[in-house]
């Protein structure tokens, strides 16, 4: 059974990059050396691994990665910092009165 990882990198421009891989530390090194010219992280190096979690089912990992990519920066930061109780409130839209 192959383990998959969903990870978040903090880029040098203070943005986040989210990805999925089978080897999180090898993939981090690929981001750091700019293996894929023109990729999102290529011009935003150095990057820092700030979060990762493992999955035993690649389909579930990909589904979680897609969810994370839609999250706001504030919600990603709450996840990174382990503020899990804040996540539901960061999902709610604020409507003007």
What is the SS3 assignment for 48? strand
Mean pLDDT across the chain, nearest whole number?
94
Give CA–CA dist 42/40, Å, rounded: 6
User: What is residue 9's predicted lDDT score, i.e. its pLDDT?
Assistant: 98
Task: Find out whether 32 and 46 touch, Cβ atoms under 8 Å.
Answer: yes
Domains of the chain as residue ranges with CATH: 4-91 (3.40.1440.10)
Q: Region 33-62: what's the mean pLDDT?
A: 97
pTM (predicted TM-score): 0.91
**What is residue 49's predicted lDDT score, i.e. its pLDDT?**
98
DSSP strands (E only) in 1-97: 4-10, 16-21, 48-55
Note the pLDDT of residue 51: 98
Per-residue pLDDT for 20 more than 90? yes
Residue-wise over 10-38: b if at least 16 C-beta within 10 A, else e? bbeeeebbbbbbeebeebbeebeeeeeee
Predicted confidence band of residue 1 (pLDDT cuts 50, 70, 90): confident
* pLDDT of the residue at 84: 94
Interatomic CA distance for residues 57 and 82, integer angstroms: 23
pLDDT greater than 60 at residue 95: no
């Amino acid at each position: 059974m192959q383990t998959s990882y969903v990870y978040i990198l903090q880029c040098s421009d203070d943005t986040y990059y989210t990805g999925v891989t089978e080897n999180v530390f090898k993939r981090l090194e690929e981001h750091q050396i700019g293996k894929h010219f023109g990729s999102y992280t290529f011009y935003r190096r150095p990057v820092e691994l700030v979060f990762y979690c493992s999955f035993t089912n690649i389909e579930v990992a990909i589904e979680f990665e897609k969810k994370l990519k839609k999250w706001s920066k504030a919600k990603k930061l709450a996840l990174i910092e382990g503020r899990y109780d804040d996540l539901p409130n960061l999902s709610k839209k604020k409507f003007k009165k």
